[in-house]
Amino acid sequence: MVDDLLDRLDGVQERSYGEWWARCPVCGSPSPRLLIREDSDGQVDAHCKRGCSTSHILSGLGLPFAVLFPRDGKPYRPPIPAWWKHERRYAHGVGVVPPTSER
């Protein structure tokens, strides 16, 4: 879960919904170089811009890989390939948004 990861990091800054930057515990950069993202399925991605591996980051924090995956037991569902090419409907069901390629 993303909260378990964020609680152990220093210098955490929320930049947008589901996206945080923090100081990497492996390379020890004084500025935030570690990008943490949580997708809509609850899966978490931790990526250091200096190239530190996710396994080193998690072991440095004393966390297992399981912290990156949702706890609800649902399997990860990858996004639909080329989702931006499909028609999207408004939430109230009136009208259709054309695919990005046709705008």
Confidence at residue 98, expressed as pLDDT on a 0 to 100 scale: 57
Answer whether residue 20 is part of any domain.
yes
Q: How far apart are CA 1 and CA 38, in angstroms?
A: 9
Q: Identify whether 12 is part of a domain.
A: yes
User: Quick check: is 88 in a domain?
Assistant: no
In a domain, 6, yes or no: yes
Q: Select the more confidently predicted residue: 93 or 15.
A: 15
Q: pTM of the prediction?
A: 0.65
Please report whether residue 24 resides in a domain: yes
Any domain includes 103 = no
Number of independent structural domains in the chain:
1
DSSP 12-66: EEEEETTEEEEE-TTT--SS--EEEEE-TTS-EEEEETT---HHHHHHHHT--GG
**42 within domain boundaries:** yes
What tens digit of pLDDT does each residue of 50-97 get? Answer: 999 999 999 999 999 888 887 766 655 555 566 556 555 555 555 555
Domain boundaries, position 23: 2-68
Query: Could you tell me if residue 9 is inside a domain?
Result: yes
